[in-house]
C-alpha cells in the first residue's frame, strides 16, 4: 500500500467513476514472491485504473470484524507500462478499453473506531 | 486530594533555591551544548521516538499474510487495508488483458490474485484523525 500523490485519484459522474492514475512509480520486480527472501529487482511503472459503478447496489459488513461497506458493483479496466532497466525489459499493455476485471466494487466503508452496528 | 500526599518529585527546597538550581542548569547547558536538546542527544542514524505512535495507517488487525496485510478481493471481504477508516473505497481483481514487451512478444497480464484498490478518507492513527489517499497495487 502506498500513498497516492495529489491529483492521482479523481472522480467523475457524481463519484460513480473513479480514475487512479500514477506515473513513474518505483516498484520491485519479484517473480518468486511470496517465497522468503525472493529476489527483487528495481523497476518503474505507469498505471491507470478506471472503476465505473453499475446500478447494482451492495451492502455488507461484519460486526465481529467491525466493518461495513455500502456501494455498487463496478466494472474496472486497467492499462500499465513497466520497465525493469537492469534486465533491459519493458512491457506495455494494450489500450485500457481492451482489459476487464472479473470483480470490482466502488463505494464507502467504515471500520474500527468509526464503525457503528 | 489529601494535603498529606507527597509528590515523588518534591524536594526540600524553597522556591527561590529551586529557581537558582534552574539557572544553574541553564548555565551548564550553555557550557555543554550537546545536552541542550533531546534531538542532539539521539545517536546518529536513529530517529526520535514518537510517543504518540506512528502516523502510518493502522493495518487490519487480523490480517498478516506475509506481512502484506492483504486479503483476497471479493464480496463479503473488507476492501480497505486500513483499520479505523471511513471514506471512499474501490477494489478490483482477476484482470484479463494483453500487452507487448520490448521484443515484440505478446504477454497476457492478470490472474485471480492481481488485485488493486484505493482508500480515500479519514483514518485514525497516532492518537489523531488524519486524511489521505492510498492505493494497493
Domains of chain A, residue spans: 15-30+39-56+73-106
In our burial notation (b when 16+ CB lie closer than 10 A, e otherwise), range B59-97 reads bbeeeeeeeebbeebeeeebbbbbbbbbbbbbbbbbbeb
CA-wise closest residue to B128 among B84, B78, B93, B73: B84
CA-wise closest residue to B122 among B111, B134, B112, B110: B134
Q: What is the pLDDT of residue B33?
A: 39
B53: chain A residues, CB-CB within 8 Å: none
Min Cα distance B92 → chain A (Å) is 4
Q: Are B91 and B101 in contact (CB under 8 A)?
A: no
- Cβ neighbourhood burial of A5 (10 Å; 0-12, 13-18, 19+): exposed
User: How many residues make up chain A in this entry?
Assistant: 117
Q: What is the pLDDT of residue A5?
A: 94
Distance CA A9, CA B112 (A): 24
For residue A100, the cross-strand partners are: B96
Record: contact B85-A76, CB cut-off 8 A: no
In this complex, is the C-beta atom of B126 within 8 Å of any C-beta atom belonging to chain A?
Answer: no
Min Cα distance A42 → chain B (Å) is 16
Q: What is the pLDDT of residue B54?
A: 83
Q: What is the pLDDT of residue B25?
A: 36
In this complex, is the C-beta atom of B125 within 8 Å of any C-beta atom belonging to chain A?
Answer: no
Q: What is the pLDDT of residue B61?
A: 85
Q: Which of residues 23-52 of A touch B (CB under 8 A)?
A: 25, 27, 34, 45, 47, 49, 51
Q: What is the pLDDT of residue B66?
A: 59
Per DSSP, B113 falls in state T
In our burial notation (b when 16+ CB lie closer than 10 A, e otherwise), range A45-63 reads bbbbbbbbbeeeebeebee
State the complex-level ipTM.
Answer: 0.92
- Domain residue ranges of chain B, discontinuous segments joined by +: 11-49, 58-136
| 3-state class (DSSP) for residue A65 | coil
Q: What is the pLDDT of residue B31?
A: 40
Min Cα distance B59 → chain A (Å) is 10
Which residue ranges in chain B fall short of pLDDT 50? Answer: 1-39
pLDDT tens, position by position, B29-38:
334 333 344 4
B71 vs A69: which has the higher pLDDT: A69
User: pLDDT band for position A83 (50/70/90)?
Assistant: very high
CA-wise closest residue to B118 among A43, A62, A71: A71
Tell me which residue in A34, A51, A93 faces B97 most closely, judged by beta carbons: A93
Q: What is the pLDDT of residue A60?
A: 97
This prediction has a pTM of 0.78
A51 vs B4: which has the higher pLDDT: A51
Amino acid at each position: 500500500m502506498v500513498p497516492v500523490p495529489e491529483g492521482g485519484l479523481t472522480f467523475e459522474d457524481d463519484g460513480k467513476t473513479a480514475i487512479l492514475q500514477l506515473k513513474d512509480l518505483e516498484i520491485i520486480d519479484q517473480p518468486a514472491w511470496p517465497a522468503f527472501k525472493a529476489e527483487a529487482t528495481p523497476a518503474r511503472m505507469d498505471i491507470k485504473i478506471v472503476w465505473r459503478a453499475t446500478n447494482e447496489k451492495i451492502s455488507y459488513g461484519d460486526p465481529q470484524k467491525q466493518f461495513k461497506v455500502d456501494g455498487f458493483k463496478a466494472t474496472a479496466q486497467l492499462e500499465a507500462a513497466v520497465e525493469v532497466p537492469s534486465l533491459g525489459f519493458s512491457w506495455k499493455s494494450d489500450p485500457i478499453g481492451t482489459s476487464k476485471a472479473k470483480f470490482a466494487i466502488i463505494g464507502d466503508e467504515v471500520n474500527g473506531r468509526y464503525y457503528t452496528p | 486530594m489529601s494535603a498529606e500526599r507527597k509528590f515523588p518529585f518534591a524536594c526540600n527546597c524553597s522556591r527561590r533555591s529551586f529557581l537558582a538550581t534552574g539557572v544553574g542548569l541553564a548555565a551548564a547547558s550553555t557550557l555543554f551544548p550537546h545536552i541542550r536538546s533531546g534531538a542532539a542527544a539521539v545517536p546518529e542514524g536513529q530517529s526520535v521516538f514518537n510517543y504518540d505512535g506512528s502516523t502510518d495507517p493502522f493495518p487490519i488487525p487480523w490480517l498478516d499474510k506475509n506481512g502484506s496485510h492483504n486479503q483476497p478481493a471479493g464480496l463479503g471481504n473488507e476492501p480497505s487495508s486500513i483499520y479505523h477508516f471511513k471514506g471512499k473505497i474501490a477494489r478490483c481483481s482477476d484482470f484479463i488483458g494483453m500487452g507487448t514487451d520490448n521484443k515484440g512478444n505478446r504477454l497476457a497480464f492478470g490472474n485471480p490474485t492481481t488485485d488493486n484498490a484505493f482508500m480515500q478518507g479519514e483514518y485514525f492513527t497516532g492518537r489523531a484523525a488524519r486524511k489521505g489517499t492510498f492505493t494497493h497495487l
